[in-house]
């Protein structure tokens, strides 16, 4: 899979791409990440990429031409603009992105980008959540990480991606490992019992009670959008 990232800060991605499974997926040729800096297409000695908004108001808006010139050659790819005004990112979206051979993630900065870019060069707008960051870079890094672990062969144990939170629409049960007691804090007895039926029942109960307590919306929504 190829991921293009359009960003004014390509260096932002240096270390996230050099860690853990992302690094390995790139080394193994499963993933290719290419950054594209719109400033390369900016004009003038100052390479201006933003300007004041028409109609007035605070902040600066990313200009149309540098982004248009950056995105035009990527017209055959699925182009995603990262913005708090987009559809909230979820697992179903990552599943869909992971099936695509090539995707382009467009990071905004400043107050926004000229809306004509969205109209003519963007297929989908996506938000990381109901909060405002300085730009789309963190969201792009989140998508890369969420997609990598779905690429066949990118992580060791494919079963572990399937049983997880958000695919089953329930949160995961708590996990424990050795030692069974630390400073008097004990692992639940059932997990040490060797009774696999009891363990599975306990885990199912934990998933349900956690979800009801923390994310009742996941249960209310279940089945409504597949
Ligand atoms: N850029 C700024 N805030 C963002 C958010 N919440 N999601 C995606 N891109 C953003």
C-beta of 130 in contact with ligand 1 (< 6 A): no
User: Does the pLDDT value for residue 1 go beyond 70?
Assistant: yes
Residues 175-200: tens digit of each pLDDT: 999 999 999 999 999 999 999 999 99
pTM for the model: 0.92
User: Does the pLDDT value for residue 220 go beyond 80?
Assistant: no
Number of domains in the chain: 2
Whether residue 179 is contained in a domain is answered as yes
Whether residue 153 is contained in a domain is answered as no
> Both 171 and 198 in a single domain?
yes
> Both 62 and 135 in a single domain?
yes
> Both 23 and 112 in a single domain?
yes
C-beta of 105 in contact with ligand 1 (< 6 A): no
> Both 67 and 125 in a single domain?
yes
Whether residue 158 is contained in a domain is answered as no
Whether residue 225 is contained in a domain is answered as no
Structural domain harbouring 211? 163-218
Taking a C-beta distance cutoff of 8 angstroms, is the pair 103, 97 a contact?
A: yes
Secondary structure (DSSP) of the chain: -EEEEE-S-GGGGTTGGGSHHHHHHHHTTS-EEEEE-GGGG-BTTTTB-EEPPTT--SS-EE-HHHHHHHHGGGTTSEEEEEEEEEEEP-HHHHHHHHT-SEEEEEE--TTEE-HHHHHHH-SEEEESSSS--SSSHHHHHHHHHHHHTTSTTSSS-THHHHSSTTTSSSPPPP---S-SEETTEEPPGGGGS--HHHHHHHHHHHHHHHHHHH-HHHHHTTTT--
C-beta of 132 in contact with ligand 1 (< 6 A): yes
> Both 8 and 113 in a single domain?
yes
C-beta of 133 in contact with ligand 1 (< 6 A): yes
User: Does the pLDDT value for residue 158 go beyond 80?
Assistant: no
Distance separating alpha carbons of residues 223 and 71, to the nearest angstrom: 37
Whether residue 127 is contained in a domain is answered as yes
Whether residue 155 is contained in a domain is answered as no
Whether residue 118 is contained in a domain is answered as yes
User: Does the pLDDT value for residue 226 go beyond 50?
Assistant: no
Residue to substitute in 6, 12, 83, 131 for testing ligand 1 pocket (most ligand atoms within 8 angstroms of CB):
83
> Both 75 and 111 in a single domain?
yes
């Amino acid at each position: 899979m190829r991921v293009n990232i359009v960003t004014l800060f390509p260096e932002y991605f240096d270390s996230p791409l050099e860690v853990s499974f992302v690094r390995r997926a790139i080394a193994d040729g499963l993933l290719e990440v290419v950054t594209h800096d719109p400033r390369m297409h900016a004009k003038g000695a100052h390479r201006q990429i933003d300007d004041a908004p028409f109609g007035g108001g605070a902040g600066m808006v990313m200009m149309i031409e540098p982004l248009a010139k950056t995105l035009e050659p990527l017209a055959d790819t699925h182009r995603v603009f990262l913005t708090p005004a987009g559809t909230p990112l979820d697992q179903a979206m990552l599943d869909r992105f992971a099936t695509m051979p090539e995707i382009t993630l467009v990071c905004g900065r400043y107050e926004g980008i000229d809306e004509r870019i969205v109209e003519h060069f963007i297929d989908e707008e996506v938000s990381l959540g109901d909060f405002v960051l300085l730009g789309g870079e963190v969201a792009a890094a989140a998508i890369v990480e969420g997609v990598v672990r779905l690429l066949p062969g990118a992580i060791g144990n494919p079963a572990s991606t399937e049983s997880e939170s958000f695919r089953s629409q329930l949160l995961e049960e708590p996990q424990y490992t050795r030692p069974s007691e630390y400073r008097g804090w004990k692992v639940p007895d059932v997990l040490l019992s060797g009774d696999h039926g009891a363990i599975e029942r306990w885990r199912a109960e934990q998933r349900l009670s956690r979800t009801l307590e923390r994310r009742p919306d996941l249960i209310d929504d279940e089945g409504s959008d597949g």
